[in-house]
Chains A and B, each alone.
Chain A
Amino acid sequence: MRNSHLGGISLILLVFWLVCTAQMRQSGDPIVLTHPASWPKPQYEFSKNPLTRQGIELGRRLFYDPILSRDSTISCASCHLSFTAFAHVDHTLSHGIENRIGTRNALVLSNLAWSTYFMWDGAVQHLDFQALAPIAHPLEMDFSIEKVVQRLNETKRYPMRFFQAFGDSTATGAAVLKALAQFELTLVSANAKYDRVKAGLDAFSDQEQNGYRLFQQNCASCHAEPLFTHGSFEQNGLPIDTGLNDYGRVRISQNPADTLKFKVPTLRNIEFSYPYMHDGRFRKLRDVINYYAETNALKQKIELTPNEKIDLLAFLFTLTDRDFLFNPTFGFPMD
């Protein structure tokens, strides 16, 4: 009888512990990602990595922490600065530890929940796994996720944050990647003048309106609204930089038709995300427009008068989202 009672109590305690554990695992405060109703459904499967306030905050701290690099000098933010749409305006190519220079221009980070391919060549097909690439690349962080996890578990500051986010104080590779993804998923840019015009809250000037017409005629097939990218790969006629010999998508697909194809980047916040192209060869937006208008880069040449180029620029500036660029919740955690 006594043993039976003890067994019963043990069972109750076990059930209580399991309930508590389950609650701890769900103890984060849920966050729902908001976006304009007219936008398509996000590609990211949020049910596999539900956003929580604690998960996002952990991801933000990891994003800004150089602990992810071998010599603890380079963080994600080193090449993805919030004030420049998480691009890198100081360099044509990304840079890594020990002043190593990479081979590609750092891409803008925004509206990533709608992306299915990551990196200029689409080498990564899921946001969760994207961070593995710069962590492991010898010209960037030159480290490994295994060592990152080991290092995080040796800190005093991270175990509690992993516990708050995922119900377990021990960092794992999956938890690190999911936290980073949670933060990056919150980087939604949807409040540019363009968005306010679409919502009926603002109006384009005549110049911007004409630029919008030119954009729709000449650019929108690749830079499709409302994300301003169709998310796939295109060959835009750029001659190859023989110092880099980067042939783009073909390296991943091994399909000759993909030679010199690169991911079409978003044009949102293009005003602040210079330099442009996969190798950062154009520093000014007008250089990009001139390239398309004055060369035979594309199958169908873009014919623009000088005034039309300015109108197109004026429209592109309506894609600047200052609420996104200067959002303090995206910035360096000050505490």
Chain B
Amino acid sequence: MGQTTDIQTVIRVLPCFEQKVIVPNGPIRTASGDSLAFHALRMYLSNVVFYKNGMAVFTEKDSHHLLDIEEPGTLDLQFSIPANLIYDEIAFDVGIDSLTHALGAMGGDLDPTKGMFWGWQGGYINIKIEGFYSKCITRKHEFQFHLGGYLPPFPTLQSVRLAVPLNSKTPLIMLELSPFLAQIDWSHDPNIMAPCLVAKVFSKIIAQSFQIHAQ
């Protein structure tokens, strides 16, 4: 009596470039005629909250999702939510917050074996983007962006809040990476391997690149 059953709902996150879905190592011809491919694209989404009229109506417990384009199933975020839940916004963090760092070694998606933890920098790598871009001046035109760090002065955790379109039962979240790559000065070595100001700036750009679509 009075109880609501939970249902499984899936929110898909689709990383794309110029609206083309990114697949691992899949060649992309950019609008400017350059060649591009993503060898790796992994990131943490955490602290997922559903809102209705500005009020939190569902907060996921132990909310940490490691998205990895090499494991397409990880792009489908699964939530067990009340069947009658109505929401008009979804919020999440891109990365792992400082409170979670303070908990010590964790399992599941947070297990340090996932390759998303810096041994010598002390913290999770929030976003890992690696690939090939013909504009990149590095050896083999390869780039590596490992964006992370949770301590001042360069905390990289970013919050995202997206309005859910009306009548959208399974929203689709697109992550459009073209604005991010457009910000990079490819005439210099663009690689990032440690917490720094640029990592903080790039993390913010990526967080602003999520868009939500009705399905």
Contact = CB atoms under 8 A, between A and B. Distances in A.
Interface of A: 45, 48-49, 119, 122-129, 132-133, 135-137, 145-146, 149, 172-175, 177-178, 181, 252-255
B102 interface: yes
Nearest to B104: A128
Size bin of chain B's contact surface: 20 to 34
B119 to A, nearest CB: 4
B122 A124 contact: yes
B120 A123 contact: yes
Contacts of A253: 153
Listed from nearest, the 8 A-B pairs whose CB atoms lie closest are A128-B104, A173-B113, A132-B119, A177-B105, A128-B105, A136-B119, A173-B112, A174-B107
B104 A132 contact: no
Interface of B: 101-107, 110-115, 117, 119-123, 151, 153-154, 195-196
Contacts of A145: 112-113
26 contacts: A45-B104, A48-B104, A123-B121, A123-B122, A125-B122, A125-B151, A126-B102, A126-B104, A127-B104, A128-B105, A129-B104, A129-B112, A129-B119, A145-B113, A172-B111, A172-B113, A173-B107, A173-B114, A174-B111, A174-B112, A175-B107, A177-B105, A177-B112, A181-B104, A252-B121, A254-B154
Contacts of B120: 119, 123-124, 133, 136-137
A135 B119 contact: yes
B112 A48 contact: no
B87 to A, nearest CB: 32
Q: Which of B102, B104, B195, B196 has the most CB of A within 10 A?
A: B104
Which DSSP category, helix, strand, loop or mixed, fits chain B's interface?
Answer: loop
B117 A129 contact: yes
A124 B104 CA distance: 11
Contacts of B102: 45, 126
A175 B112 CA distance: 10
Contacts of A172: 107, 111, 113
B103 A48 contact: yes
A135 B117 CA distance: 13
A126 B113 contact: no
A149 B106 CA distance: 14
A178 B107 CA distance: 11
B119 A137 contact: yes
B104 A125 contact: no
Given A123-B120, A132-B119, A177-B112, A254 B196 contact: yes
Nearest to A132: B119
A308 B66 CA distance: 59
Contacts of B111: 172-174
Contacts of B110: 174
A20 to B, nearest CB: 20
